[in-house]
Every structure is written in C-alpha cells, then in structure tokens.
Amino acid sequence: MIIVTRGQAFNHERPSEITPQGLYLGRRKLIQAMAGGAAGAVMASWAARDARAQMARPGKLAALQAGRSDVAGAVTMEKPTEYKDASSYNNFYEFGTDKADPARNAHTLKPSPWTVEVEGLVKNPAKYAIEDLLKLSAQEERIYRLRCVEGWSMVIPWIGYSLSQLIRKVEPLGNAKYVEFVTQADPKTMPGVGSRVLDWPYVEGLRLDEATHPLTMLSFGMYGEVLPNQNGAPVRLVVPWKYGFKSGKSLVKIRFVEKQPVTAWNRAAASEYGFYSNVNPQVDHPRWSQATERRIGEDGLFAKKRNTLMFNGYAAQVGQLYAGMDLRKFY
C-alpha cells in the first residue's frame, strides 16, 4: 500500500501497520512453517480458524463447547452456510414436507428428557439419557459439506463425536453387520407423522464399517450451540459422504443387526433410493441430476452451480470402503 502525503512524497507504511499485528505475525509463522514442509497441516489449521472467524454464535440456543477435531477430512476449507439458512431450509418430514415446515412446526418437539436405546447384537445393550451421551466422549467441531439428493448443498459446523466411540462401548457381536437408526415418531409432537408420505418411524441404516468410520458422527449441536429442533435435536447422525436423508435425526434407537435394514426411502421408492446413497455425480436420481449442486446462500442472479464431488469430496477418506463395488448397481 502506498500513501501520498501532503508534501507529495510517498510514505511506505510498514506491513505491521497495514495489517493487524496478530494476523501479520501469524502470516510470518505460516511462511516459516511452509518452508519447513508443514504447509498442508498449517493451511488446514488456518482454514479452520478462518471458518470459525466467519461464524458468530447465533445466540438462539444454549452454547455447546467443543474442541478442534483431528480426524482427517473433518474440516472443509469452504465457507460455512449462514445459520439462518441452515436452520430454516431443511427436510424433516415429521414436521411437514415444505422446506420451511420444520422451522415453523418443530417447536412442539420436546428434546428433554430424551433417551436413546442401543440394542440388538451387542454385548452391552443400554439405554442412554441424552446427558450421558453428551459426556460419553469429548465434543468436537467438524465443518462438513452437506449434499441433498435434491441437488442443493450446504456447509455446516457440527458439534459431536465419532459414532465409533459409542460403538466401542457397546461392543458389537461377531454377527452384527449393519446398524439401524430409528427416529422419534410421536404424532402428538410431530404433526407430519400422520401423513402417508413415508412409513413411520423413519429408519436409516449403515454397514458396520461405515458406522465405525471416524467421519461418521453423532451430532448434538451446530454453530456453537445445541441442535435446533428442526435440525434433529437433541441428537442426530451425520454421514458427510452420503446424501442428507441418510443422516437420521432425533434418534431414539440404534440397533445392531445381521441383515441389511429396510430404510424409509428405500421402502417408499426402491428404484430411486438405494441403501448406500453415496454422493455420486455419475449416477443421477430419476428426478434430479447429481452432476452439479446449488449451494444454499449462493442464490444470486449470476450464481453458478457447483460441480458435485465424488463422495461429496471425501473420497480420500472413504473410497476404500467401496473398493471393487459397482457403484451404479449399489447406489
């Protein structure tokens, strides 16, 4: 930056006066670290810090403290979606089929008291109060991409921990091959449960190796606060490389089984919704192209769609789970 003085001489400001000192010194550390061969790790750290700097806590709900996650791929460098968009534009058919219905109707959900029953083929079945689940492992903040099968996407800072922490505690038996997730289905507090859109309760499922992958998480919060009702309070699943409907909300049961579960959307339309439902730009849904996506919050007149990434950008972390599989057949 060059500033012209009254005397028409040029006064070159010092870098530390142009840029705030903390940022200036931080950049020096970045350059030094890059020179030392630690560029990748440092860039990821800076990306996470920049992403957090863009997110002021909404101040809508109780704060939920979380530390930084060390799980590979847990923090995307992309800009997080605004809280107002992430909390008002979603699918949660228990509260209605319009995107605005969950935010409008989910105030009836009572997230406390709440229990989650872990049952089936495990050595240590148990019923956990939500308070016990919150304390089961250290809470981490993870900034994940979210891709809906309808062709839109978001970036959300979730708070929670790897589902594997709970799985390790209950100790699945040798014949447990899949994990089934059951959402609350209470017509008194969930007005959409009376509809014929789906069979209730909402059920989702994962292979055991998918469920134990470090990126698969139980989430209790987002944007530094506990989950809003409309986003799946008080506890939900988040599987970032799969379409959003695979991440069951407001969970009440986690069941370990031997046979592949029949999931809600697969039961409703098996030709459209496969069990795996991995994000795949090469396999279109009958009603929506999966090659590109509309990022919520980037809806201006000249906004371009983004190219969808294989496994939603998590191929390096999860691609080996599907080695040798025909991903068109097992969609």
Identify which of 249, 167, 157 has the alpha carbon closest to the alpha carbon of residue 203: 249
Domain assignment present for residue 279? The answer is yes
How do residues 210-230 score in pLDDT, each as one tens digit? 999 999 999 999 999 999 999
pLDDT at residue 52 in the model: 53
**What confidence category does residue 134 fall into, taking pLDDT thresholds of 50, 70 and 90?**
very high
Number of Cβ atoms within 10 Å of the Cβ of 292: 13
Residue 295 vs residues 20, 84, 172: alpha-carbon distances, Å: 32, 14, 38
CATH of the domain at 100: 3.90.420.10
User: How many structural domains are present in the chain?
Assistant: 1
Strands (E), 194-300: 203-207, 217-222, 225-226, 236-238, 251-257, 292-295
pLDDT of 141 higher than 70: yes
> With pLDDT > 90 as the criterion, what percentage of the chain qualifies?
80
Domain assignment present for residue 54? The answer is no
Q: Which residues neighbour 240 within 8 Å (Cβ) at sequence distance 6 or greater? A: 144, 145, 146, 215, 312, 314
Cis before 234? omega within 30: yes
CA 294 to chain CA centroid, Å, is 17
Q: What is the mean pLDDT of residues 295-306?
A: 86
Compute the half-sphere exposure of residue 297: CA atoms within 13 Å on the CB side of its CA: 15
Q: What domain range includes position 109?
A: 67-322
Domain assignment present for residue 62? The answer is no
Compute the half-sphere exposure of residue 217: CA atoms within 13 Å on the CB side of its CA: 26
Residue 134 φ then ψ, to 5°: -60, -30
Domain assignment present for residue 290? The answer is yes
Domain assignment present for residue 234? The answer is yes
pLDDT at residue 92 in the model: 98
Domain assignment present for residue 173? The answer is yes
Provide the β-strand partners of residue 179: 206, 256
How do residues 308-331 score in pLDDT, each as one tens digit? 999 999 999 999 999 999 999 999
The Cα–Cα gap between 12 and 3 comes to: 7
pLDDT of 36 higher than 90: no
Domain assignment present for residue 18? The answer is no
Cis before 113? omega within 30: yes
Domain assignment present for residue 170? The answer is yes
